[in-house]
Structure formats: structure tokens, C-alpha cells
Chains A and B, each alone.
Chain A
Amino acid sequence: MNAHIEATRLHDYVERLLGEEEGAAVERHLESCDHCRDIVSELAELISDLASLPSEASVERDLWSGIESRIGQGSGPDIIELPVGRHTPPRRISATWGQLLAAGIVLATVSGGTVWMALRGDTAGGAPLAQAPSLGSAAVPAVQVADEQYREAITRLEDLLDEGRHLLLPETLAALERSLAAIEGAIEDARAALDEDPNSELLNRLLIDHQQSKLRVLEQAAAAIRL
């Protein structure tokens, strides 16, 4: 035989990818060609060696704790539920984002949600429909506790936004700041009115709504920065 078989066909031959006829033709060539036979045997040996490399490797370092901290805040895979009442659909938060913030937000919203449930229980579900009284004073300290936690979460998010504001387009940033100012104005209105009427169920609810709204806007902005 004169010409050698091209490398591609030899690889295919070793991997048994050739048809019967082609395979037989290569075999006939190999019978009389030391060069190609050497390539085939080296190839076969290499492929066999590669295939017998161990398929498992032991990890020296503890990797689980890192994984756990990244997945650990959620109630379930993929979705971290923010278990609050109004206007708060379950939010998808990526693990990284969750890791940064979930601790603060979940804590805050759980508390807010608890307060909220209490508030809502007094009104929406109430069967006798009449002029409802102002909310009982017992709930107010709870609102204040939630209020504190919201402030913390909001401060944390605001810091994050401050650090990443250069990453947003000027018009996006302007719209964001306008919106945050509008919410802040609403919060201030509710607070000022609460000073005069501290037991008002409506004002307490509005305040919580606006705080949650602010939290979500900041969260959305921070997620955008992360993008």
C-alpha cells in the first residue's frame, strides 16, 4: 500500500465509528502498513488510558458550608418567598442576591407580614360590617418593631444603591430617585398623621405598605446594579 490513511479516519476506526465496509478497508490497509498500525495502537492505548482515569475526586476543603450559606436563606429551591401581605408577590431572588440581603429583608418582611396579618384580620375578614374602630393599641408596638427592622433593611439597601449608582443610566437613576422621593413623601405623610392619630389602623397599614414599597423598589434597583 502506498498512501497512508488520513488521521480522521484512523480516529474513527479506533472509536468504531466507521461503517462495516470502510472499517474492513482500513483493516486491510493496516495489515500492510506499519506506520498506520502504530498510530492506531497508540491511539487505542491513549483512549483506553483516558477512559480508565478515575471518575471521582475527593475534595480536601469543606465546600458544603459555602454552598449552604448560598442556598440557606430560602424556603425552597429557586424561589425565596417573602411571606408578606399586600402587593408582595413571591419574589425570585438569586442566591447571590439572597445571600447579600435575604437575612435582612426576610426578617423584616416576616415581621411586617406578621403585623400585617394581625391588621388585616381585624378588618377585611370581619363579618359584621359597620364603622370599624381604630386599631387597638396592642398592635402598635409591633408596628414600631417592624418599623425598626424596615429601617435597617432599607439603610442596607440604600448603601448598596449608593455604591452602585454609577452603574445605572442617568435617566434610570433620575426615575428611581423620583420614585423613592415619592414613597418617602408618602411615608412622611403617614408618620406625621400617625403622630396625631397613633392608633389609626389605616395609617399603620399605609405606613407598612409604603415601607414595603420602598423596600421593593430599592431591591429592584440593587438587583439592576447586580446585572
Chain B
Amino acid sequence: MTGLLIGAAMMVAVAQTDTTFDAGGARYFRLGSEGGEIRVEAWDRDEVRLQADHGRRTTIEIRQDEDEIEVDSSGRGMLGGIVDYVVTLPRSMNVELEGMFADITVEGMQGEVSAETLQGDVVIRGGNGRIDASSMTGRIRIEGASGMIEFRSVAEDVRLVDVSGEIVGESVGGAIVIENAEATSVDVGSVGGRIDFSGPLADGGTYFFGTHGGTINIDVPAGTGAEFSLASQHGSISADLPGAPERFERRRRTTFSVGGGGAIVEAETFGGRIVVREAGSGEPDA
């Protein structure tokens, strides 16, 4: 999508904006875009560098409030509001990005990050505090973020790697893969997609997984203490953990405790599979 538009941009007349200005200690950065790519990078200066490729009749508007910097574009002509942004921000800033047809990438920020797009991928590397990622038809990838992590994808896959804190989110049709998470709570669901989770379970932490037709793979480290509550209407359940039941009945909720309890893990599916096992005991089921 973006590539196509940039191709068109070259034919139509492209303009570039490249400006660096004092951030004035502002804590919030907001950017709204109709289309194009949004890339946010971090640096250790109290300055904002805004690079933008856009049509010649597009205007980039920068508004600076006491505490926030807001960037918007408006334009006429073929390219209208299509802008490719590269923004470099003070590392600690909180970032809020909204795009309609935008791929969004945020790298190395240490504040809160909110990235919402209608059609496009969202990639967030880093971030602390509240982390929101949402795309209707694009993929979501969050790496190394910590805090309250929320995601929502309607149709595509979501991958969270090396994140910590609380995780909440859903994908209707895509897979949700959470790798090596240090989560204190998880609440994720998918209608048709697969859910993979791996990482330590915190004592007192709560972990909920739900899918209608997909497979739920939960890999827990050896020696984990947890209470499991697993339920399936028409699907299958297996738990390869010391002390877990060998057989699970359909249409019943089965609960059991391993390693003396500690975390609460709950998984449920209508027609899919639930697979619980010790980490390192093989590839997750597809």
C-alpha cells in the first residue's frame, strides 16, 4: 500500500520536510496520519526531528502545547494526506500515533506508546507503562515492552516477545504468540486463531486464554506452581505436567494443581485444543 503510494508520489511531485525543534520538555507526542508509514525513533536530546515525505500540496502542521506536541497533515491533490514520517523523539516521551492506512513502527522509546491503525502493521520495540497496539487488518509485534500491554487485531497475527507486566488483548482471526513473557497477568482470546504462551508464571499471577476453534499451547517452566482450570466443549485437552490428570472429559471443567499452586491458569475452548506442557519439551502444536 505504502510502496504504491510512494510510487505515485514520485510521479506527482514530492516534497520533503525535515525540521528539528526544541521539545520544550513536552511529555506527549501525538501524530495522526491518513496514510503512509510512521516510524518513531528515540534519542537522548530534548528535541524533535520530523522528517516527512509528502505531496507538494500537503501541509504538515506541528502544534506545540505546554506539554504536548501534535503533528497533523492536510493536503489537496492526489496525495492528500499521504505522508511518510520518520520522527525522532526524546526517549522518555509518551507517544500516541493514529493512522488509517499506516504501517507504524516505534523503536526504543521508554515512555507509553499507543499505536492504532486501521490497515497496516504495528511494531513496537521498547516502551514502558501503558502500551496499546491496534490494527484492524495488520499484524502486531511488540518486543521488550513492559507495563500494561494491550493489543487488538481483527484479522492478523500478534506476536509479543520478551515483554513483561500485564497483557490483555485479542485477535479474531489471527494467531497470538507470546514468547518468553514475564507476565503477572494475561488475558487473551481469539476466535479462530492459535494462542501460544511461554514464560514463567508468577506466584499469584492470573493467566486466562480462550479460543473458539484454535489451539492453546501453554509452555510453563519446570517446577512451576500453578492451579489449572481447563475446559473444552467439543475439543481436546492434554496436560503433560507432573501431577496433571492424564485424561480430560469433554463438556467438563477440569481443575488441578501442580507444584503446590501459586499462579492461576485458566484456558477454555469450544472446539479447539488445549495443550499444557513443560517448556522445552518440543515445538508447540500448530
Contact = CB atoms under 8 A, between A and B. Distances in A.
**Chain A directly contacts chain B within the complex, with at least one CB pair under 8 Å:** yes
**Chain A interface size range:** 35 or more
23 contacts: A89-B168, A129-B255, A130-B255, A131-B253, A132-B253, A169-B119, A171-B137, A172-B118, A175-B173, A179-B155, A182-B172, A182-B192, A189-B212, A189-B270, A190-B270, A200-B233, A201-B253, A203-B270, A209-B210, A210-B212, A220-B154, A221-B136, A224-B100
A206 B231 CA distance: 11
Interface of B: 98, 100-101, 118-119, 132, 134, 136-137, 148, 150, 152, 154-155, 168-170, 172-173, 187-189, 191-192, 206, 208, 210, 212-213, 227, 229, 231-234, 251-257, 264, 266, 268, 270-271
Interface of A: 86-89, 123-124, 126, 129-132, 168-169, 171-172, 175-176, 178-179, 182-183, 186, 189-190, 193, 197, 200-203, 205-206, 209-210, 213, 216-217, 220-221, 224, 227
A112 to B, nearest CB: 14
A216 B231 CA distance: 24
A178 B270 contact: no
A218 B106 CA distance: 27
B154 A176 contact: yes
Contacts, number: 124
Given A87-B189, A175-B155, A205-B268, A213 B172 contact: yes
B172 A129 contact: no
A129 B229 contact: yes
Given A87-B168, A123-B229, A216 B253 contact: no
Nearest to B256: A129
A169 B118 CA distance: 10
